[in-house]
Homo-oligomer: A and B are copies of this chain.
Amino acid sequence: MAVTLADVAARAGVSAATVSRVLSGNYPVAGGTRTRVLRAVEELEYVVNGPASALAAASSDLVGVLVHDIADPFFGIIASAVQSEMESGGERGPGPGRKLAVVCNTGGSPEQELTYLTLLQRQRAAAVVLTGGAVEHPEHSPAIALRLRRLAAGGTRVVLCGRPPLPEPGTAPETAARPAAPARNRAGGDADEPLTIAFDNRGGARRLTEHLLALGHRTIGYVAGPAERTTTRDRLEGHRRALHEHSPGLLADADRLTVHGAYDRSSGYDGALELLRRAPEVTAVLGANDTVALGICAALREQGLRIPEDVSVAGFDDLPFSADAAPAMTTVRLPLHQAGVRAGRLALGREAPPPGGVATVRAELTARASTAPPRAGGTPAGGPG
């Protein structure tokens, strides 16, 4: 635990500077010297002191990944994709340049998000990836946006994955108040602006609703996520646009047919029951995501309704378990792994930023067995009293 650069240098018969150069690899060192140094490193089992290195270099090799819920596969998939991208970089194993992804669970709360951002800033993280929809909060949202811009201006790469791009500054007068100091010696290229990988939630929800409409459904319930989440808002918007384009009259009932909850199973369960109470005539129910849809299925089944014969159900995201549900879930496939890899590449500066700083990934309809045409009668049997 106590072997330092100097020890290695002494053993190899060179100066500490040379050892540092060999290890960091960004300076020419003669072959023989390099070999000697590497041998000394091996023999002494030397492990670089990260903090010291970060202090001197003014940047650590930590990359923060903020997720709403680590136990939710949606985020798990993205996070592991980001991490796999960090791994695939270091040819020399745990050597220099190898980044460490720090996955932080925010629980979807803006306060937590801010807290973790501070923690990451304190660690002088090389990059920060924020995943999942943003939570709109009159006070915190601007604070987070400001903080992200500051981090980006300070050389930390900021990537939003599955989040809407940051609003243009200027709204907050504070932004201009603190003139940015000219960046000092920074490792990679510039990182002056947060980058975004946006999910096409709107388009996905729209195509899903169009699928239902094409099957003949006209009374479609929606168990949505928390209203303040941008993801919720976008999906709902896509849904309603599809409704409106099919026939404007369908919008009249939309509010009554929408229930808000969280992105978890019990919200789906409770939401479905509430929906049945409000509108027993629904022939299809959309879930905020696949997990919610699973809860919806459970509730409907308990009410004696068959899926999809009596009621069609669909989710969103296409998580691994969705294909295995009984019946297999109709949903919208989001290329989460791919998005995570891309976010990782962007965070590492391995990929050129998309034009305008925003790339949008498509959400494909994946029709399976949980949706079918409504029954002729329109009103299912066995509705609750």
Contacts and interface: CB of A to CB of B under 8 A. Distances in A.
A80 interface: yes
A49 interface: yes
Interface string A95-119: 0001011111100000010010011
Contact of A49 (B80, B104, B122): B122
Interface in A30-66: 47-55, 60, 62
Contacts of A150: 1
Interface stretch (A272-280, A318-326, A347-355): A318-326
Contact of A70 (B52, B54, B76, B321): B76
A173 interface: no
Contacts of A320: 265
A142 B245 CA distance: 65
A122 B69 contact: no
Given A115-B94, A294-B321, A100 B105 contact: no
Interface string A279-319: 00000000000000011011001000000000000000000
A115 to B, nearest CB: 5
Chain A interface size range = 35 or more
Given A103-B70, A265-B324, A1 B154 contact: yes
Name the residue in A71, A154, A321 with the highest tally of chain B Cβ atoms < 10 Å from its Cβ: A71
A79 B298 CA distance: 28
A71 B60 contact: no
Contacts of A76: 69-73, 76
Name the residue in A101, A120, A122 with the highest tally of chain B Cβ atoms < 10 Å from its Cβ: A122
A70 B80 contact: yes
A69 to B, nearest CB: 7
Nearest to A112: B87
A294 B298 CA distance: 17
Contact of A47 (B50, B100, B103, B118): B118
Given A93-B115, A94-B118, A51 B47 contact: no
A11 to B, nearest CB: 16
A243 to B, nearest CB: 29
Contact of A123 (B69, B100, B153): B100
A252 interface: no
Name the residue in A297, A321, A324 with the highest tally of chain B Cβ atoms < 10 Å from its Cβ: A324
A46 to B, nearest CB: 10
A327 to B, nearest CB: 9
Contacts of A265: 320, 324
B103 A103 contact: yes
A2 interface: yes
16 contacts: A1-B155, A47-B121, A48-B122, A50-B122, A51-B52, A51-B54, A70-B80, A72-B76, A73-B73, A83-B105, A100-B123, A101-B102, A294-B324, A295-B324, A298-B324, A301-B326
Given A1-B155, A100-B120, A301-B326, 12 more contacts: A1-B181, A47-B118, A47-B122, A49-B55, A51-B52, A51-B54, A69-B76, A71-B73, A79-B105, A94-B119, A94-B122, A321-B321
Interface of A: 1-2, 47-55, 60, 62, 69-73, 76-77, 79-80, 83-84, 87, 93-94, 98, 100-105, 112, 115, 118-124, 150, 153-155, 181, 265, 294-295, 297-298, 301, 320-321, 324-326
